[in-house]
Structure 1
Amino acid sequence: MVEKNENMNSLSFEQALKKLTEIVAKIESGQISLEQSLTQYEEGMELIKHCRGILEKAEKKIEEISKEKEKQK
């Protein structure tokens, strides 16, 4: 699991979102087993967590930039 997390941390937001979309399509297709669906679901939840982290960092950066611009006025 550590290796998987390290690989996930190297994914950009766009890459993680693409993988998440692919996982959803696999699960919704009904073409994979229950066990595979659970594994895919778990990976999807990790991808969501990763994406949220990236978005939170971006939001903080935007807030910092906005504060700096306000100080310059």
Structure 2
Amino acid sequence: MTKHEIIPCERCGKRIECKANSFTRCQCNTVRLNLNEVQYISELFEGCLCADCLVDLKNEFNALNHLH
């Protein structure tokens, strides 16, 4: 039994434990994003994402920006 909500990642559907009430201990907090990366991701998704998807999207954003 967990005290945090188990939700699906909005991008891949993997079940993640959302710790919004303790976000410094949430799995998504392990991924460091700059302001531009956060803005890019927030334009694509509204809900919570797993750390793996955050890394993928961070890499996608940086790859797109290296093309310009």
User: TM class, shorter-chain normalised?
Assistant: 0.3 to 0.5
Larger proportion of strand: 2
| TM-score, with structure 2 as normaliser | 0.35
| TM-score, with structure 1 as normaliser | 0.33
Q: Answer with 1 or 2: which has the greater Rg.
A: 1
Larger proportion of helix: 1
Higher relative contact order (CA 8 A, sep 6+): 1
